[in-house]
Structure 1
Amino acid sequence: MEREEVFFELMETLYEVSRFISSYESVPRKYGTEDELYMVEVHTLNLIGDKIKTTTSEIATITNRTKGAVSQMVDKLVNKGLAVKYKNPNNNREVIIELTAKGSVVYDYHKELDKEEYEYHLSKLNQFTTDDFKNYIMISRSIIDQAKWNSGFK
């Protein structure tokens, strides 16, 4: 019975982490510009910046959101001067999204914040091995894959 109890505690801990992240994400912050941005906006900018040029379809696939929801988010970023949209010259049906110079400032600022935060957390987790981290990743991915399958996301 111990395995089951530990697994249930793991699941409850994952839900607690999810609730904490959700509350953290609901507070707008500044990321190197005058704009206050929500975490979902900054993470969308990160996806755009990581890809250099992308589409709403690519972002929707990565984030498990609808193309409509991603399109609304991108429009907010465009209205704030953080991203631009334009028709793909090779495919008129496709819209390309990329960061503006201001969006790149937010992207770089957030990447540096993440690096500092991750390094801080890593320094507090010395009792865990690299294999412990790999096992956690495998367990988390398995749970995500099962949740996607059960909910119809594939």
Structure 2
Amino acid sequence: MAVTTQQESLNLEGARIAIAAAEAKAQSMGLGMNIAVVDASTHLLHFSRMPGAKITSISIALDKAFTAAGHRVGTHTYKEAVWPGGVAYGLGNTNGGRFTTFGGGLPIVNARGEVVGGIGASTGTPAQDQEVVQAGKDAIEKWNRSFAQFLHLALIA
């Protein structure tokens, strides 16, 4: 018999706040970006493709958000570990090739430090993508002080 638990997860309103802040950051950098926000279960909540964003970066942004929420750490943390001989070599080939190991994906956490979603961006360099998602993460976590309005309880089987 499956056990069902409740988990807080980001909602659409929260995702929109994160996307708006990430878009503003990308615009200030003169970049068009693909930006994705997923919930705690790695399901897409909101996506933005800004003018000038690379078509080939759409799936990369989605996969960065997926990786950040699902593995509960920023995608940039794998940089050294995934090279040949590294402790996580080959990790990028897992999850149907969706596991992303370069910068531009961050988990979104609630006031208790629990992962409630993830944000990913792609079109720039990994460092530029990282700046963009940091702005989105900061915007929603700023609201984290009264975060309940941007979360809902999800049943996880």
Structure richer in helix, relative to its length: 1
Greater RCO structure (CA 8 Å; 6+ sep): 2
Instruction: Output the TM-score relative to the length of structure 2.
Output: 0.31
Structure richer in strand, relative to its length: 2
Find the structure with the greater CA-based Rg.
Answer: 1
Instruction: Output the TM-score relative to the length of structure 1.
Output: 0.32
